[in-house]
Amino acid sequence: MREPRALEAPVRMSGEVVKGFGRGSKVLGIPTANLPHDALKQLPRSFETGIYFGWATVDGVGPYKMVTSVGWNPQFANTSMTVEPHLLHSFPDDFYGSSIKIVIVGHLRAEAKFESLESLIDEIHLDISSAGELLDCEPYSFLRSA
């Protein structure tokens, strides 16, 4: 059962959009705007891995609703931690090299390994739907301009 929770304080991160492993668009059909590895230093020390939601701007434009994975992606056995936001907005082109700022306002679920790639994709779509709905409501909607 999904029990989203608000964070005690929003977590802000920023960086240049970099290429990831190429799985978001190509394997999952869910493109991500990956933050560089050094952006992990912006996380509080006690920040837990998981699936989060919040707001994002790209080159100062937005805010756009977003859901992000912060962690190790156990489905793919990553050897390094990543921050992989998916923006709930259609962009006509890739925007690698653009400046992205995210504000993480809530937690959706823990990271998990799924029985199949299809199960993972279904769960990500549920994450996207949940984030979209939650960000329209308090206490999350007012953080749109945080």
- The sheet carrying 82-87 orders its strands as 5-16, 99-109, 50-58, 61-71, 82-87
Tokens representing 104 are 């993480």
Is residue 56 within 8 Å of 104, Cβ to Cβ? no
Q: Residue 111's closest CA among 84, 71, 54? A: 71
**84 is annotated as an active-site residue:** yes
Task: Round to whole Å and give the CA distance between 125 and 123.
Answer: 5
Query: Which strand (E) or helix (H) includes residue 124?
Result: helix 117-134
Among 8, 48, 84, 123, the active-site one is: 84
Catalytic residues: 84
